[in-house]
Amino acid sequence: MKKQIRKYAFLLLIVFGNGYAQTKKHMDAKKPIEERISLLMKEMTLEEKVGQMNQYNGFWDVTGPAPKGGSAELKYEHLRKGWVGSMLTVRGVKEVRAVQKIAVEETRLGIPLIIGFDVIHGYKTLSPIPLAEAASWDLDAIKKSAAIAADEASASGINWTFAPNVDITNDARWGRVMEGAGEDPYLGSKVGYARIKGFQGETIADLAKVNTIAACTKHFAAYGFVEAGLEYNSVDMSNSKLYNSVLPPFEATVQAGVRTFMNSFNTLNGIPATGNAFLQRDILKGKWKFDGFVVSDYASVREMIAHGYAKDEADATAKAIIAGSDMDMESYLYVAKLVALVKEGKVKETLIDDAVRRILRVKFELGLFDDPYRYCDEKREKEVVGSKANNDGVLDMAKKSIVLLKNAYPPGRNENLLPLKKSGQKIALIGALANDKNSPLGSWRIAADDNTAVSVLEGMQQYKDNQLTFEKGADLLSQKATFLTETVFNTTDKSGFEAAKIAAKNADVVVMVLGEYGFQSGEARSRTDLNLPGIQQELLEEIYKVNPNIVLVLNNGRPLTIPWAAQNIPAIVEAWHLGTQAGNAIAQVLYGDYNPSGKLPISFPRNVGQVPIYYNKYSTGRPIDSDKNVFWSHYMDVEKTPQFPFGFGLSYTKFDYKNLQINKTAFSKGEKIEVSVDITNSGNFDGKEVVQLYIHDEFASIVRPIKELKGFELINLKKGETKTVHFTLTDAALGFYDNEGKFLVEPGMFNIMVGWNSNEGLTGKFELK
């Protein structure tokens, strides 16, 4: 009898199992993706649909036992029911395979998870921070850097990164300035486009490759303009600024094929971005026809209550989905409230269907339905993560990111300090950051191991024919320093000053490595003081008294105010936080094995009182001192110009600009304007130059910036070589958006400048009729 029962049970299992298998027509890889999505959604309950819109952080050791008790057990049960569409910060093949196995093999429909992670400037092998990469102006290198990051992340089970950040910002007080490409929308658009292609590949079809990951453009929108540079703060700006400065890089990533967007923490026009239908429905999904999905920032759905925009959890949930936020990151509200809101008629199920379709679309494009374990190859993980090829790649990116800010003759010398001689010199290396293997990794390096960067000391020790002496001088941090709460810097302990002064006095050249600690910039790292923190400025001045032959190497994630150094120190190198190979890159630049070619993607202020400061500002009614009196736009205590302007960067060689040509003096709308200039390397080194083209529309229906970057070209020139650089301007470069978002191309006079930074160059003029 028992055998008969088991036999019938087995037959029933086969019958019902086969019947259910027949409904899985969405698993047929030969069918178009849109058809597969429709077939799957027909099988989904409302609860399972909402589950796809729910994202949880990694909440337990997934290779260990199931969690018991509390929210972790609840989340685990949601995962087993198919009520989780994505998880973040789960990493490593073993961990990802374990959590994916639950989603695929234990839930009713077996819908795979998309695994997200903050791959901001690399996974374990780190490139320079994004602001530093933008300083290279080398779009091919930036694209390759993102591809390296995607290669390592995908090898570790991850298939979605929360990058790139394309927030335009001109306020160095904001810590997240390190995540973006600086102050200019044109450069920011080009960099964002390149990073999308690096992460995702050239086409949507490339997403199914094992070494690419889905990208996520963030933060939509205007987060770079938070008031006072204060994290999570409000934004209040004109439509002109929004359409012409903020939105272009976001639109460029849509054109590049980005598959996801993340909204932002800030309000815009009094409405939190997470609940902002104007941004998400009207512009992104409407005007730009974006067909990927939007994920909230961390708990930003719930935070609309604290903003005072939503009265309770249900209200916040309804406002977020109605506004176009498709996936809820870690607010727990969609999974808790959305089903009831639909059943009560407060949210249309068509909005749920649209969101789920978008999410499933990306999962199909990634190939997760065809092979949910495609990113779970332990052999590949071991081969790819930390490989020599990847280290070589980030070293190349790091060298290209370095900006030479100053290289003058020191007192009593008739030659520049840089490049350093490779033999016969006594060099004193001073500064706690010079022997730091952790800080150069920068912020946003969750998967990287601590203390794995090559230090400047280690890099310079590779050049063995000089006498190198290292002295710390002073600790940067106090013993109480912590980055979970507040940073505490050393402001009193000068016990190492004397040893550093002795080393400097006995040296031919002093290299001082000063700046910010790696975690001093990034999310929630706003500053009101942009000087060198701690007692570093005092150390610098004390060393200068005994030996003025100083090369100052800056490690930082944002512009710093260094007026004393800019006036007194003969050589200054902006070396940012350059990642895993930082020390090698810096040493190779200092010794001239690599000629620096970086240009600043953001202006450096003289003091924090100038902030926000940026090159593409508007004129005023009184821009200059024409009447020789006090009544004009200026500061009484400092120049109104930056210490180092946007686009600025020197080389060990010299470039001469000559023969600026515009093919005509007058053009009609639709005509192409051809601009050319001759560049000669007249110095003693081979080198690279970023040739920059700026325009100014002299008068318009809405005032235009005094300069706008509209083209750049990175060229290689051998010593004595001349090249002609050509630019083509179209209506897209000459036009602008009005306050309703309409693109206008108006007749008038245009000034052109082609130069070596935003403040200097050759000028010309033409008319658009």
Q: Token pair for residue 596?
A: 């620096």
Pairing of strands 328-329, 293-295: unpaired
Centre a 10 Å sphere on the Cβ of residue 595 and count the other Cβ atoms it contains: 18
Please check whether residue 401 is in contact with residue 128, taking contact to mean a CB–CB distance below 8 angstroms: yes
Residue given tokens 């809820």 in the structure block: 328
Q: Token pair for residue 638?
A: 């400092």
As a 3-state breakdown, the chain gives helix, strand, coil percent values, each rounded to 5, of: 35, 20, 45
Centre a 10 Å sphere on the Cβ of residue 706 and count the other Cβ atoms it contains: 16
Q: What is the largest CA-CA distance in the chain?
A: 110
Report which of 265, 177, 181 is spatially closest to residue 522, judged by C-alpha positions: 177
d(CA 11, CA 14) in angstroms, rounded, equals 5
* Integer CA distances (angstroms), 258 to 33, 112, 141, 363, 543, in order: 17, 20, 19, 14, 50
Burial category of 57 from C-beta neighbours within 10 Å (exposed 0-12, middle 13-18, buried 19 and up): middle
- Strand order of the β-sheet with 571-574 is 403-407, 571-574, 550-555, 509-515, 426-430, 467-471
| Angle value at C-alpha 118, between 599 and 211, nearest 5 degrees | 90
Alpha helices, DSSP H only, in 594-730?
none
437: left (phi over 0), alpha (psi -120 to 50) or beta: alpha
Which residues lie below 8 Å from residue 7, measured CB to CB, with a gap of 6+?
none
For the residues of 190-255, what is the DSSP string, one character each? HHHHHHHHHHH-SSGGGGGSTT--B-EEEEETTGGG-GGG-TT--B---HHHIIIIIHHHHHHHHH
| Angle value at C-alpha 646, between 679 and 609, nearest 5 degrees | 155
Report which of 71, 156, 630, 225 is spatially closest to residue 384, judged by C-alpha positions: 156
Amino acid at the residue 147: A
Report which of 691, 696, 694 is spatially closest to residue 751, judged by C-alpha positions: 696
Helices (runs of H) and strands (runs of E) counted in the chain:
23, 26
The 3-state secondary structure of 633-650 reads CCCCCCCCCCCECCCCCE
Among residues 118, 297, 328, 697, the one annotated as catalytic is: 297
* Integer CA distances (angstroms), 236 to 206, 264, 272, 591, in order: 39, 14, 11, 47
In the beta sheet, which residues pair with residue 747?
A: none
Residue given tokens 């093919």 in the structure block: 663
Q: Can 297 be counted among the known catalytic residues? A: yes
Pairing of strands 267-268, 271-272: antiparallel
Centre a 10 Å sphere on the Cβ of residue 351 and count the other Cβ atoms it contains: 19
> CA quadruple 640, 643, 648, 653: dihedral positive or negative?
positive
Can you point out the beta strands (E) in 241-354? Answer: 260-263, 267-268, 271-272, 293-295, 328-329
In the beta sheet, which residues pair with residue 603?
A: none
Residues annotated as part of the active site: 297
